Amino acid sequence: MLNFDLSERQQQIKQQARKFALNRVLPVAAYYDERDETPVEILKEAHQAGVSTGMIPEAYGGQGHGLVDGCLVVEEIAAACPGIATSLFDNSLGMEPLILCDNEAAKKKYLSKFVNAFNLISFATSEPTMGSDVSGIRCQATEDGDDYILNGTKYWVTNGGIADYFTIFATVDPEKKHEGICAFVVEKQWDGVEVGRAIPKLGQRNSNTAGVHFNNVRVPKENMLAAPGDGFVLAMRTFSHTRPSIGAFAVGAARSAMEFAMDYAKKRRAFGSRLSNFQAIQFKIAEMYQKIETSRLLVWKAAWDADNEIDPTISASISKMYATESATQVANEALQILGGYGYTRFYPIEKLLRDMRVYPIYEGTSEIQRMIIGGHVLTNYEPVMPALEDLPLHHEHHPDELGVEGRPETNAWRCRLCGFVHYGEAPPEQCPYCFFPDSAFKQVAGSQPE
Ligand SMILES: Cc1cc2nc3c(=O)[nH]c(=O)nc-3n(C[C@H](O)[C@H](O)[C@H](O)COP(=O)(O)OP(=O)(O)OC[C@H]3O[C@@H](n4cnc5c(N)ncnc54)[C@H](O)[C@@H]3O)c2cc1C
């Protein structure tokens, strides 16, 4: 049975996150954005308030929230500041490979560190030379007794400059592509770990992004989350559980953009009337609202799949692609409604637009989501309709006129190229429409030739 009601517990989770978003995140969002600085104190407060730790499984001391619960929280925080939300929920991305892997000892050792104290864990597949093509990882892991030695550079690491731990995807041999990829938890304090400068960005300026370099870093085998050959699948499984949250980021940020535009449209006057009285503006608001509502439904569906142990890969890709692309359209139209004021830094729309522009890029670009969805539809999707060449013959015969077993008495031959149906004992020598020879015809009705 379908049910879109939130439980009482979920309502509470949402309200708690909303309160934190409005009281603690919104007031500081622009301040830290201006300074390209991550508000670590706010991240700490979120940890203390339980806003950012909900999804750690109960078995490891967490609250055991599902992904639907998580998306409710994410939407609220992103509505206040998409940048701070990225840094706040990066722990979920960093922890997901730990949660999904089979290394029980590593789960026990590390997951508790995020429940009991404020610690940050970053996730890194991307490198200076690759992002989308995860099989192209170059960061090398070389076996050495009970350890692996890591050498290489990870780039674009969210919270990279401030994290205490890293989930690192590396390869035992770049030539092996998917077959060589493995994953480890690496501690920042270990010898040979070097953190780069914060990367200057268009938006999400209050979310730290940095490169991390590994120079002969010794990683004990007990920290391995995926053995060589299993790392690629672990990375993809991680994304299918975290992409709905990116969709939820987009829903929150778009929702704020729409709310600010509504407020402005109800107050601003032009041509003797309020903007909100103009149908052109009402239509913009209608499209914004439609996109936000649709996005939220897709996000909830993907999160629900994950919570119910249904493979969320496709629903996650659909929700991320749709919600993130819709959000930038919503914010763009919101800015349009504010006119010149929308373009200033006095009002929040320009920041929302800058911040959300990364959504269709990180955790798999929109192009990659289309490849995943297109590949699924063309290989796994089971159509309901018959193939074109097997469609019923409806052009020349009303179904009531058809003979036994729903077929006309006469033989019928369908040209596989253009679809023309020829009635007669044998197919024509060539198709009168597309001129293909009789071999292009398939018998679709009547008695089989002797
Ligand atoms: C603010 C920010 C934070 C980030 N945080 C993290 C993080 O915490 N951890 C992490 O690992 N990464 C992180 N990333 C990296 C992010 O995941 C990558 O930027 C993203 O996956 C795209 O990779 P790329 O930038 O190397 O682009 P490329 O892969 O080089 O792609 C460039 C363009 O080509 C397109 N393209 C590539 N291949 C194809 C194809 N086969 N068909 C059609 N088009 C294609 C892409 O869609 C894109 O438009 C972050 C990035 C940013 C900007």
**To 5 degrees, how large is the angle CA 120–CA 121–CA 123?**
145
My answer on whether 342 and 409 are in the same domain is: no
Boundary residue ending a domain (351, 379, 407)? 379
Domain of 314, CATH number, reads 1.20.140.10
Report how many domains make up the chain. Answer: 2
Q: Is 365 in the pocket of ligand 1 (CB under 6 A)?
A: yes
Q: Looking at the predicted structure, is the pLDDT value of residue 450 above 60?
A: no
More confident residue, 92 or 448: 92
Same domain? 244 vs 331:
yes
d(CA 270, CA 66): 47
On whether residue 229 sits in a domain, the answer given is: no
Instruction: Pick the residue whose CA is nearest to atom 4 on ligand 1.
Output: 156
Domain end point (choices 324, 356, 379):
379
pLDDT, mean over the chain: 95
Same-domain pairing of 337 and 293 = yes
Is 90 exceeded by the pLDDT of residue 398? no
Of 354, 379, 404, the last residue of a domain is 379
Give the pLDDT confidence score for residue 396 in this predicted structure.
61
Q: Which pLDDT score, from 0 to 100, does residue 53 have? A: 87
**Is there a domain that residue 38 lies in?**
no
Residue 169 belongs to some domain of the structure: no
Is residue 445's pLDDT more than 90?
Answer: no
| Cα-based torsion angle of the residue sequence 158, 160, 162, 163 in order, rounded to the nearest 10 degrees | 90
Nearest one of 239, 232, 235 to 316, comparing CA atoms: 239
The CA 308 to ligand 1 mean position distance, Å, reads 29
Q: Which helix (H) or strand (E) holds 253?
A: helix 231-267
Do 345 and 427 lie in one domain? The reply is no
Percent of the chain with pLDDT over 90: 91
Quick one: pLDDT band at residue 356, thresholds 50, 70, 90?
Answer: very high
Q: Tell me whether residue 408 is in a domain.
A: yes
Q: What local confidence, expressed as pLDDT, does residue 403 receive?
A: 56
Q: How confident is the model at residue 350 (pLDDT cuts 50, 70, 90)?
A: very high
Residue 267 lies in a domain: yes
Query: Does 256 reside within a domain?
Result: yes
**Co-location of 347 and 253 in the same domain:** yes
Q: How confident is the model at residue 410 (pLDDT cuts 50, 70, 90)?
A: confident
Q: Say if residue 449's pLDDT is above 90.
A: no
Other Cβ atoms within 10 Å of 425 Cβ, number: 10
In angstroms, the CA 349 to CA 331 distance is 7
pLDDT given at position 230: 98
Confirm whether pTM is higher than 0.85.
yes
The H-or-E segment that residue 143 falls in is strand 140-144
CA 30–ligand 1 middle distance (angstroms): 26
Query: pLDDT band for position 395 (50/70/90)?
Result: low
List the domain range (segments joined by +) for residue 425. Answer: 393-445
Catalytic residue list: 363
pLDDT of residue 394 exceeding 90, the answer is no
Same domain? 348 vs 241: yes
Q: How confident is the model at residue 397 (pLDDT cuts 50, 70, 90)?
A: low
Q: Are residues 371 and 282 in the same domain?
A: yes
Question: What is the best residue among 365, 368, 369, 373 to mutate for testing ligand 1's pocket, by most ligand atoms within 8 Å of CB?
Answer: 365
340 domain-assigned: yes
Same structural domain, 329 and 244: yes
Query: Is there a contact between 252 and 244 (Cβ–Cβ < 8 Å)?
Result: no
Q: Grade residue 365 by pLDDT with cuts at 50, 70 and 90.
A: very high
Cite the beta strand spans of 356-432 per DSSP E: 412-415, 421-423
pLDDT single digits (tens) 139-177? 999 999 999 999 999 999 999 999 999 999 999 999 999
- Pick the atom of ligand 1 nearest to 90's CA: 8
Contact of 292 with 215, CB cutoff 8 Å: no
* Same domain for 418 and 334: no
Q: Domain holding 399: CATH number?
A: 2.20.28.10
| pLDDT above 70: percentage of residues in the chain | 96
Question: For 284-302, how does the pLDDT look when each residue is reduced to its tens digit (9 = 90+)?
Answer: 999 999 999 999 999 999 9
Evaluate whether residue 343 is within a structural domain: yes
Same-domain status, 326 and 436: no
Which tens digits make up the pLDDT trace of 311-343?
Answer: 999 999 999 999 999 999 999 999 999 999 999
Atom of ligand 1 nearest to the CA of 169: 11
Name the closest-CA residue to atom 35, ligand 1: 367
State residue 281's pLDDT score.
Answer: 98
> Does residue 300 share a domain with residue 401?
no
Say yes or no: 407 and 310 in one domain.
no
Q: Look at residue 219 and tell me whether its pLDDT is greater than 70.
A: yes
